[in-house]
Structure 1
Amino acid sequence: MEAESISLIDRLNDINDLIGDKVIGSRRIVRFMFISLLTGNHILLEGVPGLAKTMLADEFSKHLGVEFKRIQFTPDMLPSDITGNMVYNLELKKMEFRKGPVFANIILADEINRTPPKVQSALLEAMEERHVSVYGVTYPLPRPFFVIATQNPVEQEGTFPLAEALMDRFLFRYFLTYPSQDDELKILESTSRNNNLEYYKLGADNIEFLKNEVKNVYASHDIMEYIVNIIRQTRENSMVYLGASPRTAVKYLSAVKANALISGRNYVIPEDVIYMAHEIFNHRLILRPESLIDGENNYQDILFRVIDNILSSVEVPR
């Protein structure tokens, strides 16, 4: 591995430590955010209000040193509030395109499920194609382009479930839970400290460099076969109604390569594949109704148990 790559990976880990000191209990989440960023994907953070989802996204963006914009989703929004719209320029006496907040490197889509599907769909083209089409004209988005979306649990009032097509645009859905007693005490202690931390300002060029380095990480035939077998098992499991798609397999391979790179390796091991299975599958599998009738009310626990069963049914390469 080149010296430049090693230096940048060390910087990623330093950033993770700095954010972890300010947002207690966030180190694993930040790692998944970096994996999403370096593979050209996006991440969805789900949890009840008050778990520092917005603060985490804000701190993450400050260390990247690129343009950051926040979009607060509300029920009365229009798609043009995100993408932009044509407006009349009085000086030039002609219509011109005024860019919306989606034209930034890092987008915080805050409480994305507080707005109807019509508005949510405005992000579909941007997240997958990296451009926006308005009145038949295509406008490219800046690179890198990374969406950090937050949503409240769908059981809460005033939420609109995300469409499956939009959910699939997110590499991970990360469930945030209440902190442990020790972490909650650390949160209170941190409020009395001076949190004027330095920011590394990673920069767009370094991000693009690391994205290219991810592609060069070696994954053996056995590793790729392992991923394919897991994907196929999601479709064959008796508890799953709809399994993962071939596109998921492609995203999965990119994600495990990024995890290997962040770990300081230029090759993938089976542990990389296992490490992120819950987060990559939890929003892509639709369970059969009978899997939910076992007296257990927590859907997340049931889902994770099904994913664990799928992993245990596939032989791990040596």
Structure 2
Amino acid sequence: MTIAPEQASWFAETFSLLAENVEQAILGKRHVIELVLATAVTGGHVLLEDFPGTGKTALARSIGQTITGTSTRIQFTPDLLPGDVTGITVYDQKAGEFEFHAGPVFANIVLADEINRASPKTQSALLEVMEEGTVTVDGVSREVGSPFLVLATQNPIEQGGTYRLPEAQLDRFMIKTSIGYPDDAATMRILQAAPEPQKKLAPLVGTDTLLTMGEIARGVYVNPLISDYIMRIVDATRRASEVRLGVSVRGALALSRLVMTWAAKNGRTFVTPDDVRELAVVALAHRLVLEPEAEFDGVTAIAVIGQILLDVDPPRENGTA
């Protein structure tokens, strides 16, 4: 059932208040903030690839402060073990039984800082929890709770001693984006406020509100023509000559779910082709595996998606029912 216009209006107003609150700490980056918040509402995870000092950690902390819930930070290093992420069972001699000590992944918002510096074995510890929302230790599965957002970061430079994320794990991130350096106006505001310590943001909503927003977003109407448009874009990635591995079904579902939240964020009860075009790059580009010859020629996944958006005709009708 399609949501009512009143629900879409409430969603858009609440979403705007959340973005404005986070923007107090991350100046001049409203679009990136909205992308991360939309992913959190949709139930996905975010990969931030950016240079040091652009505010990746501050963004995760600000979102954790804005939403009343638990948030943790895991600093990934080469010596980090899977148990340091998921938790371990310890034998309690007094009780005569094993007791589970939960790891930092048991939180609503988890900042996985410089995830590519950990070994593949430790990186894989996040695979189950990102997909299923559960952690299995010693044969026992435990739920991490809901909502659950992994906000992972990686540094595109200083790749020595790092471990590239495998395609299976990249595919589990709903979006991949970057914050980038602020513009001149935002930089001046940051410099003028530099002597003041960063203030703690006031919490605006609880986790229940975030879950309610997710339910509303799932009620946004998606015209079959929009679904066909997404399908044709995904199919084009698999047939592109520069691509060795195209977008998976999981990627198509991620884009389809994300555009529903994006439409509600804009106060609409239906998805439009513009929503798909606006989110296709952040939702799909990181899932492509390019041919070595194409990479050698300087072709990027972002450029491939951009060309596909030009080649694939959008539906002529709007997304209304």
> TM-score scaled to structure 1, two decimals?
0.93
Q: 1:309 maps to which residue?
A: 307
Alignment RMSD:
1.8
Share of identical aligned residues, percent?
39
Structure 1, residues 225-261: CA drift from partner, whole Å, max 9, x if none? 0000000000111111111012211111001001001
2:144 to 131, 141, 153: 141
Q: 1:2: how far off?
A: 5.9
Change (3 A) 1:157 1:194: closer
Q: 1:75: how far off?
A: 0.8
Q: 1:77: how far off?
A: 0.8
| AA matched with 1:316 | P
| SS of residue in 1 equivalent to 2:244 | strand
Change (3 A) 1:77 1:128: same
Change (3 A) 1:181 1:228: same
Q: 1:187 maps to which residue?
A: 190
Measure the CA separation in 2 of the matches of 1:4 and 1:257: 13
| SS of residue in 1 equivalent to 2:287 | coil
Measure the CA separation in 1 of the matches of 2:201 and 2:111: 21
Q: 1:104: how far off?
A: 0.9
Q: Which moved more, 1:205-214 or 1:177-186?
A: 177-186
- Unpaired runs of 5+ residues, structure 2, are 317-321
Measure the CA separation in 2 of the matches of 1:104 and 1:120: 17
Q: 1:130 maps to which residue?
A: 133
Q: 1:130: how far off?
A: 0.7
Q: 1:154: how far off?
A: 5.8
Q: 1:262 maps to which residue?
A: 265
Q: 1:30 maps to which residue?
A: 33
The answer (yes or no) to whether the contact 1:22–1:190 under 8 Å persists in 2 is no
Q: 1:209 maps to which residue?
A: 212
Q: 2:278 maps to which residue?
A: 275
Q: Which moved more, 1:23-32 or 1:225-234?
A: 23-32
Higher RCO, 1 or 2 (CA under 8 Å, sep at least 6)?
A: 2
| AA matched with 2:51 | V
Measure the CA separation in 2 of the matches of 1:29 and 1:81: 30
Q: 1:198: how far off?
A: 4.8
Measure the CA separation in 2 of the matches of 1:107 and 1:258: 21
Structure 1, residues 147-190: CA drift from partner, whole Å, max 9, x if none? 11111116532321111111111001113333333332232123
Structure 1, residues 103-157: CA drift from partner, whole Å, max 9, x if none? 1111111111111110000000101011111111111111111111111116532
| SS of residue in 1 equivalent to 2:286 | coil
| AA matched with 2:9 | I
Matches within 5 A, 1:76-225: 76-153=79-156, 156-192=159-195, 196=199, 198-225=201-228
Q: 1:229 maps to which residue?
A: 232
Measure the CA separation in 2 of the matches of 1:176 and 1:282: 16
Measure the CA separation in 2 of the matches of 1:27 and 1:180: 12
Measure the CA separation in 2 of the matches of 1:176 and 1:196: 20
Measure the CA separation in 1 of the matches of 2:17 and 2:194: 21
| AA matched with 1:317 | P
Q: 1:9: how far off?
A: 3.1
Change (3 A) 1:269 1:247: same
Change (3 A) 1:196 1:155: closer
The answer (yes or no) to whether the contact 1:235–1:244 under 8 Å persists in 2 is yes
